[in-house]
Chain A
Amino acid sequence: MTRYLIQRLLAALVTIWVTTVIVTMLIHAVPGDPVRIMYAQWQASPEQIEAVRRNLGLDEPLHVQYWMFLKRVAKGDLGRSIQGDQPVASILKTRFPPTLLLATTSLIIAMLIGLSLGFVAAYKRGSVIDVAAMVAAILGVSIPHFWLGLILLFTFALKLGWLPVAGEDLRTLILPAVTLGLANAAVLARLTRSAMIDIFDQDFVRTARAKGLPKAVVLYRHALRAGLVPIVSMMGLQFAYMMGGAIVVENVFAWNGVGRLAIEAVFARDYPVIQGFILVFAAVVVLVAVVIDLLYAWLDPRVRYS
Chain B
Amino acid sequence: MALAAEIRSDAAAEAAPGRAGRFLATLLRSPSGVIGLVIVAALVFAALFASWLAPFDPLQMGAGRRLTPPNAAHWFGTDEFGRDLFSRVIFGAQLTLRIGLIAVGISLTVGLLVGLVGGYAGGWTERILMRGIDVLFSFTEIVIALACLAILGAGLTNAMIAVGIAAVPFYARVTHSVVLVEKGKPYFEAGPAVAAGHLRMIFRHLLPNVVPPLIVVATLGVSTAVLAAAGLSFLGLGAQPPDPEWGFMLASGRELISRAPWIMFFPGCAIAVTVLGFNLLGDGVREALDPRQHRA
User: Which A residues lie at the B interface, using CB under 8 A?
Assistant: 11, 14-15, 18-19, 22, 26, 29-31, 37, 138-139, 141-147, 150-151, 153-154, 158, 190-191, 193-194, 197-198, 240-241, 244, 247-248, 251-252, 262-263, 265-267, 269, 271, 274, 278, 281-282, 285-286, 289
Contact = CB atoms under 8 A, between A and B. Distances in A.
A29 B144 CA distance: 14
30 contacts: A14-B131, A14-B135, A15-B138, A29-B151, A30-B150, A138-B32, A138-B279, A139-B276, A142-B275, A143-B272, A144-B268, A146-B247, A147-B264, A150-B264, A151-B265, A151-B268, A153-B257, A154-B258, A158-B257, A240-B140, A244-B140, A247-B235, A248-B234, A265-B150, A267-B154, A274-B146, A274-B147, A278-B139, A278-B147, A289-B138
Interface secondary structure of A, over-half rule = helix
Contacts of A145: 231
Interface residues of B, number: 46
B135 A194 contact: no
A30 B275 CA distance: 32
Interface in B219-274: 223, 227, 230-231, 234-237, 247, 250, 253-254, 257-258, 261, 264-265, 268, 271-273
Nearest to B274: A142
Contacts, number: 131
A15 B135 contact: yes
A271 B151 CA distance: 9
Contacts of A282: 138-139, 143
Contacts of B230: 144
Given A22-B147, A281-B143, 18 more contacts: A14-B131, A14-B135, A18-B132, A147-B264, A150-B250, A150-B257, A151-B265, A153-B257, A190-B296, A194-B295, A247-B146, A247-B235, A248-B235, A263-B237, A266-B154, A267-B154, A278-B143, A282-B139
Nearest to B279: A142
B280 interface: yes
A227 B154 CA distance: 43
Given A144-B275, A151-B268, A267 B138 contact: no
Interface in B121-161: 131-132, 134-135, 138-140, 142-143, 146-147, 149-154
Contacts of B154: 266-267
Nearest to B257: A154
Given A26-B150, A147-B250, A147-B264, A285 B276 contact: no
B139 A285 contact: yes
Contacts of B257: 150, 153-154, 158
A11 B230 CA distance: 34
B235 A285 contact: no
Nearest to A125: B295
A274 B144 CA distance: 11
A146 B234 contact: yes
Nearest to A263: B235
Contacts of B258: 154, 158
Given A142-B223, A150-B254, A289-B138, A193 B264 contact: no
A244 B138 CA distance: 11
A194 B296 contact: yes
B231 A144 contact: yes
Nearest to A145: B231
Contacts of B275: 141-144
Nearest to B269: A147
A244 B140 CA distance: 9
A144 B227 contact: yes
Contacts of B223: 142
A278 B143 CA distance: 7
